Amino acid sequence: MARPRRIVLVRHGESEGNADDSVYEREPDHALPLTPAGREQAAATGRRLRSLFREERVSVYVSPYRRTHETFRAFGLDPALVRVREEPRLREQDWGNWQDRDDVRLQKAYRDAYGHFFYRFAQGESGADVYDRVGAFLESLFRSFEDPDHPANVLLVTHGLTMRLFCMRWFHWTVAEFESLSNPGNGETRCLELGADGRYRLDRPFVQWRKPEPYGVTG
């Protein structure tokens, strides 16, 4: 099995929806492009990635949203060194279709009170649903490692909540630990690095906005 030396997760650059949430009333979430600031963020992230990967090959998985595809293109990676696949299981948490801004703001307030993992948007998904599809993607990813010629790097271009849930699934974090962490900023990365002991470690933690509040039976 050829496990990669590193698995890099990237949140897309700033989208029009990040800058103005009224746009969700007019445009589908999946179709929102990057803002000029988002393109600059993606380009800056690309410079860091090119320095990290150098001349090594990279297996890339991109969420099917417009903003993630635009983010990846802005990285400027050498096409001869990358293998790119669109991966729908890495998409954003589904909120529904065209959305009323005030209703979404109200539902987000409910989610903050109820919990990001369990709260289900009225016409969309819960964080638990995203966790399940991320788990299904991981099964496919592990099977890809069986190829002895697998690239030394994996790059996932995705969304903030999906990044946290990927790490929750990989590192077996509890729901309470997940709930205590904030999403990364636009264009931010997290890297799972393979150590000499054969275990992956996160290069830097997610920002913790509160102490985990565990309950029930553990161990």
Nearest CA among 92, 78, 81 for reference residue 157: 92
Place 180 in a pLDDT band, splitting at 50, 70 and 90: very high
Nearest CA among 13, 40, 18 for reference residue 29: 18
What's residue 61's pLDDT? 98
Q: Annotated catalytic residue: which of 70, 87, 92, 125?
A: 92
Instruction: Please tell me the distance from the alpha carbon of residue 50 to that of residue 39, in angstroms, as a whole number.
Output: 16
Q: Annotated catalytic residue: which of 12, 69, 116, 159?
A: 12
Question: Is 30 a known active-site residue?
Answer: no
Average pLDDT, integer, range 49-75: 98
User: For a pLDDT cut of 70, what percent of the chain falls above it?
Assistant: 97
| Domains parsed from the chain with CATH numbers | 6-202 (3.40.50.1240)
Average pLDDT, integer, range 120-140: 96
Nearest CA among 75, 19, 93, 63 for reference residue 187: 75
| Core vs surface per residue 173-189: b (16+ CB within 10 A) or e | bebbbbbbbebbebbbb
User: 216 or 63, which is more confident?
Assistant: 63
Question: Is 12 a known active-site residue?
Answer: yes
pLDDT digits (tens, 9 = 90+) for 18-41: 999 999 999 999 999 999 999 999
To which residue do tokens 């709260």 refer? 119
Q: Please state, rounded to an integer, the average pLDDT across all residues of the chain.
A: 94
